[in-house]
Amino acid sequence: MKKIEAIIKPFKLDEVRDALASLGVGGMTISEVEGFGRQKGRTEFDRGSEYSFQFMPKVKVEIVIDDDLVEPVLDAIVKAARTGKIGDGKVFVSGVIDAIRIRTAEKGSLAVDE
């Protein structure tokens, strides 16, 4: 099993969710996060005053899937989240040793399958 964490622009969440659902991904965890990369925040002007934002709002999507779904899921996330502009985000893949569904005590792939 693998855990995929995608940091994306908030307005791309629906597209990413729909792309993952079309692959049969049944569950995900979503968190509102803030951060910066190459863009280093932004500066805006409002009524003559300058406002500096060091951290940009992002959404973190976390899913755990079987190894055979990794490539299709990564392709779907990248395609759905891409705008072609700086700040599109990152995707991280890491190994998962085990998973347990608390309600039924199922382990491994059974715990993450719908």
**CATH code for the domain of 95:** 3.30.70.120
pLDDT on residue 86: 85
Distances (CA, A) of 81 to 76, 99, 103, 105, 114: 8, 27, 33, 34, 24
Beta pairing class for 2-8 and 89-95: antiparallel
Cα(88)–Cα(93) distance, integer angstroms: 17
Global confidence as pTM: 0.85
| Counted domains in the chain | 1
Domain with 59 in it: 2-112
pLDDT on residue 46: 66
pLDDT per residue as tens, the chain (114 positions): 999 999 999 999 999 999 999 999 988 999 999 887 776 666 666 677 766 667 788 999 999 999 999 999 999 999 999 999 888 999 999 999 999 999 999 999 888 876
Range list of H helices, the chain: 13-22, 70-81, 109-112
